[in-house]
Amino acid sequence: MIAIKSLCEHDLRALSCLQKKCFSHEWSDAQIMQQLQHKRALSLGVFDPELIGFIFIRTLLDEAELLQIAVAPTKQGKGFAQSLLDALITQLKEEGISRLMLEVRRSNNSALSLYRHYGFVEEGMRKAYYPSLGAGGQREDALLLSFYCSGK
């Protein structure tokens, strides 16, 4: 049975391991710890029974920025990212957050599909924002997306 719950410092080791599996440029343990301890941060994890996915956001006034979302490669495509987003959006609405923003690689089709399913809208682009995924490759654009929690 899956469970979604707030993450804390005790989850650092599992988060660090999951970061290495999911990202080519993962956060350091110090960066993860800063997220877990930040007063305007929300960090949720999905457990089955071990940590298999997480979402990190920061809030400022009535807006939030999605910093990272990840699901273990062996668990992707099974609805865990949707479960995290459902829990996040519910919590943001309860806290009076009106807008959730994020940036995503232009080539990340699975993430774009997920975000479009939720009604995120494209509101801009950052040219050559992301480092190349391969040696000698070109930097990649980031698409800026927003989800309006109160409906726009």
From residue 61, alpha-carbon distances to 45, 76, 99, 131 in Å are: 23, 32, 10, 30
Across the beta sheet with 121-130, the strand order is: 3-6, 41-47, 51-60, 63-71, 99-105, 140-148, 121-130
What the block records as the tokens of 72 is 């273990």
Q: Exactly one of 65, 103, 129, 140 is catalytic; which is it?
A: 103
DSSP code of residue 2 = -
| The Cα angle at residue 48 between residues 41 and 149, in degrees rounded to 5 | 40
The helix (H) or strand (E) run that includes residue 93 is helix 80-94
Q: Is 130 annotated as catalytic? A: no
Q: Is 103 annotated as catalytic? A: yes
Q: Exactly one of 9, 63, 94, 115 is catalytic; which is it?
A: 115
Q: Which positions are catalytic? A: 103, 115
